[in-house]
């Protein structure tokens, strides 16, 4: 994806220009459209944080390998999965921003051609709700993967420490001491390893929440457009009915035969 669409959404002159046009003309769609842009900015921020946490996870993986921690394989699997998820999400975000920027250009062109009336129905130019929905659905799957990774690492760590308890008790019994009943809590390394995954999972959850908020805002824009179109449809229907009433009934072969027969 072009580097332009990997840049922050507010770096686009087309986005800034449309926001300015909406504000100057006090457009009824300004609030919802600004909310959409704000949610995209929030998604960008959370994605950048997820990228940083991926780097932190790689460091924890290196530490786990160095200490031959039993969860190192599970961590490596989680890192590989996370790298794939972040890469896909970056592509989806870039595609979303490309669509938004293109839609801004179309709206600006319509405004210059038809004036402020074009601003009341900007939903027709922004076919981005399906893109947000796609991102939301992808994140739901990614969050489930993160939850499974966290549970797996914690289970391995708990088992590791339980084994440690048994080994320790063998030594205690050999020395004539009473066996310990409770294993020590999971080690600091395991806690440090799971933390970046939890943060990553929370980043994904925040992006998903922003996508859902943007979907709701787009739905409101679509509803506003339909509300404005309804009176127009009713007016056109009334005009059509009036014309139909004023036009004399057309002569058809069947009607001609009936008239001749009546004579």
What pLDDT score does 1 carry?
54
If one counts every other C-beta atom within 10 angstroms of the C-beta of residue 89, the result is 22
What pLDDT score does 237 carry?
52
d(CA 36, CA 210): 9
Instruction: Classify residue 14 by burial, with Cβ atoms within 10 Å: 0-12, 13-18, 19+.
Output: middle
Taking alpha carbons only, the member of 176, 193, 209 closest to residue 60 is 193
Q: What residue spans of 115-184 are helical by DSSP H?
A: 129-174
- H or E stretch covering 40: helix 30-66
Taking alpha carbons only, the member of 79, 215, 39 closest to residue 136 is 215
What pLDDT score does 193 carry?
66
Tokens of 98: 């490309």
What pLDDT score does 164 carry?
47
101 and 17 in contact (C-beta within 8 Å)?
Answer: no
CA distances from 58 to 149, 194, 198 (A): 15, 12, 14
Averaged pLDDT, groups of 10, the chain, 263 residues long: 76 96 94 96 95 84 78 82 92 96 96 91 91 96 89 72 46 47 52 78 95 95 77 48 54 55 52
What pLDDT score does 191 carry?
66
If one counts every other C-beta atom within 10 angstroms of the C-beta of residue 46, the result is 20
Taking alpha carbons only, the member of 169, 159, 176, 182 closest to residue 74 is 159
d(CA 261, CA 263): 5
Eight-class DSSP state of 101: H
What pLDDT score does 235 carry?
46
Instruction: Classify residue 18 by burial, with Cβ atoms within 10 Å: 0-12, 13-18, 19+.
Output: buried
Coil, helix or strand at residue 25:
coil
Angle of CA points 64, 67, 73, to nearest 5°: 40
Eight-class DSSP state of 185: P
Ramachandran assignment for 126, one of left (phi > 0), alpha (psi -120 to 50 degrees), beta (any other): beta
**Backbone φ and ψ of 247, nearest 5°:** -80, 125
């Amino acid at each position: 994806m072009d580097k332009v669409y990997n840049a922050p959404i507010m770096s686009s002159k087309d986005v800034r220009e449309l926001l300015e046009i909406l504000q100057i003309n006090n457009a009824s769609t300004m609030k919802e459209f600004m909310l959409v842009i704000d949610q995209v900015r929030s998604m960008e921020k959370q994605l950048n944080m997820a990228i940083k946490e991926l780097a932190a996870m790689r460091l924890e993986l290196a530490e786990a390998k160095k200490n031959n921690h039993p969860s190192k394989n599970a961590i490596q699997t989680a890192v590989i999965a996370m790298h794939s998820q972040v890469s896909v999400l970056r592509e989806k975000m870039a595609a979303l921003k490309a669509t938004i920027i293109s839609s801004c250009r179309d709206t600006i062109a319509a405004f210059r051609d038809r004036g402020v009336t074009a601003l009341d129905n900007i939903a027709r130019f922004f076919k981005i709700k399906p893109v947000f929905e796609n991102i939301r659905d992808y994140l739901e799957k990614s969050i489930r993967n993160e939850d499974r990774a966290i549970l797996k690492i914690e289970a391995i760590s708990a088992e590791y420490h339980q084994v440690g308890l048994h080994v320790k008790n063998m030594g205690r019994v050999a020395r004539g001491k009473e066996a310990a009943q409770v294993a020590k809590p999971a080690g600091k390394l395991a806690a440090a390893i799971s933390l970046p995954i939890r943060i990553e999972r929370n980043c994904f959850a925040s992006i998903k929440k922003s996508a859902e908020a943007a979907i709701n805002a787009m739905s409101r824009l679509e509803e506003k457009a339909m509300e404005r179109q309804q009176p127009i449809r009713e007016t056109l229907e009334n005009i059509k009915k009036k014309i139909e009433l004023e036009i004399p009934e057309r002569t058809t072969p069947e009607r001609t035969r009936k008239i001749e027969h009546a004579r």
